[in-house]
Amino acid sequence: MFESLKIGTSEFSWGSKTYIMGVINVTPDSFSGDGLINDIDVVVERAILFQNAGADVIDIGGESTRPSITYSKVRDITWEEEVDRVMPVIEELIKVIDIPLSIDTSKAKVAQNALDAGVHIVNDVWGLQKDPDMINVVVKKQCPVVIMHNKEIACYSNDLLKDITSYLKDITENLILKGVQRDNIIIDPGIGFGKQFQHNIEILRRLEELKSLHFPILVGTSRKSFIGQILGLPVDKRLEGTAATVALSIANGTDIVRVHDVEEIVRVARVSDMIIRESLGNYE
């Protein structure tokens, strides 16, 4: 059983239930087809729907992180462009959302602006490794941070999970030495990031091995391409496939699932928690 973590006004008691992170992309090129831009009212409405449906966190992203291994590379945007996309949304959501907000970014200046405005969590697909100033931002704010495994090229030894575990162990130990509080670290194996189809399958099969690191685990499988490959379906037809991966992730020890379809996945998590954790948790 992990210790509890206070994020904003919410208490996250690891092991008691599966927490739901709802995704809101304010981008024109989201891989999942849910990108929203230049319509703050729609974004706010979606966030409120997510909260009412049972989301525990809202994750806001202003730059597409679609994996280049699957999709053609998208244009990198500047930190100024990213701030211009996310800050108007964040400023509105802070007024109406009671659950914690997360900023999905690898840029220190974006994270700094978001945290200064009241965002609670930094979710970095590069694990604070891409922008050298990210560690300083997180240490200064002492905020929770999601550290994801990622690689430019999907090249691994004969033991994929050993590679991922070693990578995350090295990074988290270094972050702790630099002043990041251990209790603030959440790890993510990076489904779809620097991974081929079979890698994603193997991670889900062996997810429980990451528990050896003694950090809460976040998994993001929602609508991803490996589900589409299995089912032969486009992005907007992958809900049931996502639900299957979420249930299996919960069975193998995940603590947070990052999803686009909050209402449906809350139901999946509630049933899974009753079976696996023998508890309904704190669902409302």
User: In order of start, what are the domains of the chain with their CATH numbers?
Assistant: 18-276 (3.20.20.20)
Per-residue model confidence (pLDDT) at position 68: 46
130, 258, 267, 270: which one is catalytic? 258
Active site residue 277: no
Per-residue model confidence (pLDDT) at position 146: 98
**Could you report the per-residue pLDDT of 244-264, keeping only the tens digit for each?**
999 999 999 999 999 999 999
85, 195, 223, 224: which one is catalytic? 224
State pTM to two decimals: 0.92
Per-residue model confidence (pLDDT) at position 266: 98
Q: Which two tokens stand for residue 87?
A: 């800050």
Which residues are bridge partners to 103 per DSSP? Answer: 60, 122
Per-residue model confidence (pLDDT) at position 3: 78
Dihedral of the alpha carbons of 38, 98, 66, 250, in degrees to the nearest 10: -150
**Could you report the per-residue pLDDT of 18-60, keeping only the tens digit for each?**
999 999 999 875 444 455 656 889 999 999 999 999 999 999 9
pLDDT less than 70: residues of the chain: 1-2, 29-38, 66-75, 279-284
Per-residue model confidence (pLDDT) at position 281: 57
Active site residue 224: yes
Q: Which residues contact 138 (CB under 8 A, 6 or more apart)?
A: 111, 122, 128, 145, 175, 180, 184
